[in-house]
């Protein structure tokens, strides 16, 4: 028997952070289609149910268009059950009056559904007292026991405390809330996993996204799980240290090489770091111009600092040389302070300090 463990779809998410309106609309449509593709996958691969571990919607009162789409996908896959446990984003009473028969819901008390020799348990955890809910859970060793929850693993009374589920006879604890896939052990027998979000919605949701495929043969046999990458696009973050580069042109080459492994359809965030002896103003704009058309979306942030070698100008007969000599002779300043002052002084002498202040 197979189950898809997913959650955190956030249907209706605005997707507007650092995306143009057109691309935000495209990502919203792709998020919807990924949910439908998962339903298709479940049907085509003989999955019994899709376990939706919270935050199906992004708001407590989702738009009618998003609700209708969700119910349409569920109702057009009648051979698959959809077990929907609300999360912290979709706690509102937004169910349709005509709920599809294959949509299974949970409440504030533990409830389970039987699929042959598999029981799927779930409860929608309150804001306070998550540990009290754990104490009330009771499973049956004659079944494969899958438990659905939405929340943060921690140690407080309001967290999901893994220790609370040790010895509860859980084969698999399906979690939602954290947007990246991870897994661990409950005890010697059971395991838990966060499925992550099926699509990265912003530049902070990096890495492969998808769902967890859960398979079980019979009670007493270990549940098999594997992460299935399924997102239409991947969000990448590249941190590039340009400290060793000799010029802005060299830095551009290093940055372009760093992102070369990302695919054209992906979203890329590039963070430029390090200290240079040349002015890096405009480096982010230059990269956006040269790389912007290569990816679906690109965000560049220049976090580098300029630490010019003021000692190289000590013998120069110029205003810049005089400034460097006075700076070198000041024994009250540390070397780090001198580098910072040199950076500002050289900008001022070049007439760029005001523009630099505006940018920062």
- What is residue 354's predicted lDDT score, i.e. its pLDDT? 47
Residue 304 CB contacts under 8 Å (≥ 6 apart), including other chains: 242, 272, 273, 274, 275, 276, 280, 283
Q: Is the pLDDT of residue 147 over 60?
A: yes
More confident residue, 37 or 96: 37
- For 179-235, write each residue's pLDDT tens digit: 999 999 999 999 999 999 999 998 999 999 999 999 998 888 889 999 999 999 999
Kindly indicate the confidence band of residue 178, based on its pLDDT and cuts at 50, 70 and 90.
Answer: very high
Tokens of residue 72, six digits: 């349409």
pLDDT tens digits, 296-334: 999 999 999 877 666 667 788 888 788 878 888 888 988
Range scoring the smallest mean pLDDT among 72-86, 256-270, 309-323, 344-358: 344-358
Long-range Cβ pairs for the range 177-184 (8 Å, 24+): 177/7, 177/8, 177/53, 177/54, 177/55, 177/87, 177/88, 177/150, 177/151, 177/152, 178/152, 178/153, 179/8, 179/205, 180/205, 180/207, 181/208, 181/209, 181/210, 181/212, 181/227, 183/225
Residue 262, pLDDT score: 94
What is the model's pLDDT at position 358? 44
Q: What is the pLDDT of residue 105?
A: 94
Q: What is the pLDDT of residue 97?
A: 66
pLDDT class of 16 with cuts at 50, 70, 90: low
C-alpha to C-alpha distance for 24 and 294, rounded to whole angstroms:
17
> What tokens appear for 226 in the block?
């594997």
Question: What confidence category does residue 357 fall into, taking pLDDT thresholds of 50, 70 and 90?
Answer: very low
178/158: higher pLDDT: 178
Domains of the chain by start residue, with CATH: 2-229 (3.60.21.10), 235-359 (no CATH)
Instruction: Please provide the average confidence, as pLDDT, over all residues in the chain.
Output: 89
pLDDT classification of 355: cutoffs 50, 70, 90: very low
Q: What is the pLDDT of residues 68-127, one digit of tens each?
A: 999 999 999 999 999 999 988 887 766 666 789 999 999 989 999 999 999 999 999 876
pLDDT of residue 328: 86
Q: Which of 236, 239, 244 is nearest to 200 (CA)?
A: 236
Burial (CB count <10 Å: 0-12, 13-18, 19+), residue 325: middle
Q: What confidence category does residue 359 fall into, taking pLDDT thresholds of 50, 70 and 90?
A: very low
């Amino acid at each position: 028997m197979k189950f898809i463990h997913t959650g955190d779809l956030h249907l209706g998410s605005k997707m507007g952070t650092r995306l143009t309106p057109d691309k935000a609309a495209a990502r919203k449509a792709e998020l919807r289609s990924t949910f439908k593709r998962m339903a298709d996958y479940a049907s085509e691969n003989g999955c019994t149910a899709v376990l939706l571990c919270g935050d199906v919607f992004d708001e407590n009162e989702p738009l009618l268009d998003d609700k209708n789409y969700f119910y349409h996908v569920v109702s057009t896959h009648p051979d698959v059950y959809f077990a929907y446990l609300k999360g912290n984003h979709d706690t509102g009473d937004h169910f349709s009056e005509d709920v599809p028969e294959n949509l299974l819901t949970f409440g504030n008390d533990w409830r389970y559904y039987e699929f042959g020799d598999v029981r799927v348990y779930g409860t929608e955890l309150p804001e306070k007292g998550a540990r009290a809910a754990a104490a009330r859970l009771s499973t049956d060793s004659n079944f494969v026991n899958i438990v659905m929850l939405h929340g943060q693993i921690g140690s407080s009374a309001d967290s999901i405390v893994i220790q609370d589920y040790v010895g509860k006879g859980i084969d698999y604890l399906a979690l939602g809330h954290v947007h990246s896939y991870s897994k661990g052990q409950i005890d010697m027998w059971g395991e838990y996993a966060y499925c992550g979000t099926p699509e990265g919605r912003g530049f902070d949701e990096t890495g492969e996204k998808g769902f967890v495929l859960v398979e079980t043969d019979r009670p007493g046999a270990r549940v098999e799980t594997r992460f299935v990458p399924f997102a239409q696009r991947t969000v990448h973050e590249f941190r590039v240290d340009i400290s060793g580069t000799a010029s802005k042109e060299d830095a551009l080459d290093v940055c372009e090489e760093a992102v070369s492994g990302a695919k054209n359809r992906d979203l890329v965030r590039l963070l430029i770091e390090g200290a240079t002896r040349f002015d890096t103003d405009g480096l982010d704009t230059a990269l956006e111009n040269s790389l912007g058309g290569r990816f679906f979306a690109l965000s560049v942030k220049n976090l580098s600092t300029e630490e010019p070698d003021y000692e190289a100008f000590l013998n120069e007969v110029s205003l810049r040389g005089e400034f460097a000599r006075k700076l070198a002779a000041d024994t009250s300043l540390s070397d780090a302070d001198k580098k910072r002052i040199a950076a500002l002084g050289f900008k001022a002498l070049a007439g760029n300090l005001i523009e630099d202040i505006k940018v920062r």
